[in-house]
Amino acid sequence: MTKCVICERRPAVDNGTCGNCKAKIDSETRRHQPVKPVKFLVYHGMAVALVPNGKGTLKTVAINRNPDTLPENKLLNLNRYCEGYSRDMIKSFKKAVLQAHAC
């Protein structure tokens, strides 16, 4: 009988792991849920998602989705006037979109 490749104590059941180690691995994979974007920025046909990075700030992630399919309530179109945002904020948003797609 083979032993578990992780703990090397209990007998292996599935893929070389025991029941306890498999349960721990499954719980770890369920714990890390994908982070949902707070806002979507669109500038000249390029789309960027703003996601929380865990430090209280937002980080930009370039996405390859059609801007027309993004949800309207989270969408900020930088090609038009954006009410409620200062000029400096709009400039920094545009800069972030261009930097995210330059990489």
- Count Cα atoms within 13 angstroms, Cβ side, for 45: 0
Write down the pTM of the prediction. Answer: 0.66
Classify burial at 73, counting beta carbons within 10 Å of its beta carbon; exposed 0-12, middle 13-18, buried 19 or more: exposed
Q: What pLDDT is recorded for position 86?
A: 94
Residue count of the chain, please give it.
Answer: 103
Tell me, yes or no, whether 57 and 29 share the same domain.
no
Find the domain containing 51 and state its range. 39-102
Classify burial at 93, counting beta carbons within 10 Å of its beta carbon; exposed 0-12, middle 13-18, buried 19 or more: buried
Write out pLDDT tens, residues 22-64.
888 888 877 767 778 999 999 999 999 999 988 889 999 999 9
Cα–Cα distance measured from residue 41 to residue 60, given in angstroms and rounded to the nearest whole number: 9
Tell me, yes or no, whether 45 and 92 share the same domain.
yes
pLDDT at 103 over 70: no
Tell me, yes or no, whether 48 and 9 share the same domain.
no
Residue 59: φ, ψ to 5°: -120, 150
Tell me, yes or no, whether 55 and 86 share the same domain.
yes
